[in-house]
């Protein structure tokens, strides 16, 4: 709930009861549908409450405005994406295996959450700070993983911040092309091709 805390204007909007948490979750899921289908400018708070089956007054228990629910949604989707990938890779034997498993899981996640890209991408025009926070948070975790793997001797050492941005850009574009636009390769096939490039390198040896 810490993400939602930060997104709320006042911390006392965080639900204290199980029922409140369920209502908040329903509102966020409805917001993902409403913003994903209609875009930020066409989306309406009444569209969100209608989809959620929640009274309009209840909406204002949790959010003060359309912008506030949008910001909370971007943070919630960002957290859910990172959690999904982290869960998928938690038993990976090493960093390169984790890259392959993580990219496969990410593309599969995108296929099941097709509204993800539209909402995150629109954030750069509606709430650029939340858009940047999304990628900076992703990169920070990635950078730490690369540094730890280099320290363990699993990968070559390098400049981890640009390496992390490079790897995340790669994943985002592969997710767009093979997750949303067309599904002509499976997530595992895409990850095999991309992680082979990243793990072994383009240079021909020997």
- Residues interacting with a second copy, by CB under 8 A? 39, 41, 95-96, 99, 121-122, 124-125, 132, 135, 153-156, 158-159, 162-163, 165-174, 176-178, 181, 185, 189-190, 192-194, 196-204
Q: Shortest Cβ distance from residue 9 to a second copy (Å)?
A: 25
Q: 115 vs 154, which CB is nearer to a second copy? A: 154
- Report the distance separating Cα 201 and Cα 155, nearest Å: 12
Q: Shortest Cβ distance from residue 197 to a second copy (Å)?
A: 5
Q: What is the DSSP letter of 54?
A: -
CA-based radius of gyration for the chain: 19
Q: What is the DSSP letter of 14?
A: S
Contact (CB, 8 A) for 88 and 101:
yes
Q: Shortest Cβ distance from residue 79 to a second copy (Å)?
A: 20
Terminal Cα distance for the chain, rounded: 53
Q: Shortest Cβ distance from residue 180 to a second copy (Å)?
A: 10
List the one residue out of 30, 61, 62, 32 whose CA is nearest residue 46.
Answer: 30
Q: 4 vs 149, which CB is nearer to a second copy? A: 149
Q: 8 vs 81, which CB is nearer to a second copy? A: 81
Q: 27 vs 160, which CB is nearer to a second copy? A: 160
Contact (CB, 8 A) for 36 and 114:
yes
């Amino acid at each position: 709930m810490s993400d939602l805390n930060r997104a709320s204007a006042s911390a006392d909007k965080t639900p204290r009861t199980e029922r409140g948490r369920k209502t908040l979750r329903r509102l966020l899921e409805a917001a993902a549908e409403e913003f994903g289908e209609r875009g930020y400018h066409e989306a309406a708070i009444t569209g969100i409450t209608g989809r959620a089956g929640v009274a309009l007054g209840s909406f204002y228990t949790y959010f003060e405005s359309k912008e506030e629910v949008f910001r909370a949604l971007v943070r919630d989707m960002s957290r859910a994406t990172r959690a999904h990938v982290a869960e998928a890779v938690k038993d990976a034997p090493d960093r390169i295996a984790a890259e392959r498993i993580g990219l496969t899981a990410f593309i599969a996640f995108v296929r099941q959450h097709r509204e993800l890209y539209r909402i995150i991408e629109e954030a750069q025009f509606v709430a650029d700070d939340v858009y940047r926070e999304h990628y900076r948070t992703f990169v920070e975790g990635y950078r730490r993983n690369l540094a730890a793997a280099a320290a363990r001797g699993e990968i070559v050492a390098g400049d981890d911040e640009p390496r992390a941005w490079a790897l995340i850009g790669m994943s985002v574009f592969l997710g767009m092309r093979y997750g949303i636009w067309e599904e002509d390769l499976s997530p595992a096939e895409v990850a095999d091709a991309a992680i082979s490039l990243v793990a072994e390198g383009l240079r021909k040896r020997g």
